[in-house]
Amino acid sequence: MGSIYLIRHGQASFGADDYDVLSPIGVRQAEILGQHLAELGICFDRCLAGDLRRQQHTATSALAQFTAKGLAVPPMETDAAFNEFDADAVIRALIPAMLADEPEAIDILRNAAQNRAEFQRIFALVIERWLAGTYDTPGLESWLGFVERVQAGLQRILEQADGQQKIAVFTSGGTITALLHLITRMPARQAFELNWQIVNTSLNQLKFRGREVALASFNSHAHLQLLKAPELITFR
């Protein structure tokens, strides 16, 4: 059987003007991941990433650890199918209809870094509406559209793979959630309950034979746990 390793990007710049930049912790997480994989002798036949900077930077930082140990690294491939959904666009589209019930929502979202718990509560409510599909607006990628995009990316990998390959995909939490939903057939809301638990640079392994795909492991972050440094275990 072949293996696909879905790797969540390192910690991004939550609460900053540009989220799509790895924080110093995010870079360190990626380096630790690369060192861990290299020490385990897990060498990849293919490496892909979405085209978001946090995904690309995580990939280059992790794979540099292989190169430093003299291990071969395949060329990096980019497939935007593995990009995260546009959370800012979802919030902008759906938050206005929520203000009657959540009048402080905009202030909470503008000061997310100082209101992490409230931000998560509001964001979870927004996601519930997005998943329902009844609040879709023109120009906004729907949940179903997002799932179809991610599924198309997975199918491209399977079509080009042979049965023994090890393939790394550097991606995001929402993308991993969509794949969990597709592969395990769990309801979308249940999948997003797991989404909130996905650790930055965690490993999620899929096993495949032909077009058949199964979940082998979820949210493994032993590479961070072994260092006994709680600050390295982050969720955004």
Looking at residue 44, its pLDDT comes to 96
Looking at residue 78, its pLDDT comes to 98
CA distance readout (Å), 71 to 42, 44, 226: 10, 10, 23
Could you report the per-residue pLDDT of 166-181, keeping only the tens digit for each?
999 999 999 999 999 9
Looking at residue 16, its pLDDT comes to 62
3-state DSSP helix/strand/coil % of the chain, to nearest 5: 50, 15, 35
Calculate helix-pair angle for 173-184, 188-195, nearest 10 degrees: 140
CA distance readout (Å), 212 to 70, 113, 165, 206: 34, 41, 14, 10
Looking at residue 74, its pLDDT comes to 95
- Mean pLDDT, consecutive 10-residue segments, the chain of 236 residues? 97 75 96 96 95 97 96 96 95 91 87 82 92 90 97 97 94 97 95 93 96 96 96 92
Looking at residue 233, its pLDDT comes to 96
What DSSP designation does 52 have? S
Looking at residue 127, its pLDDT comes to 94
Q: Which domains does the chain have, with CATH numbers?
A: 2-84+145-231 (3.40.50.1240), 86-140 (no CATH)
Q: Using alpha carbons, select from 147, 141, 145 the residue that is nearest to residue 93.
A: 141
Looking at residue 220, its pLDDT comes to 97
Looking at residue 15, its pLDDT comes to 60
Looking at residue 14, its pLDDT comes to 67
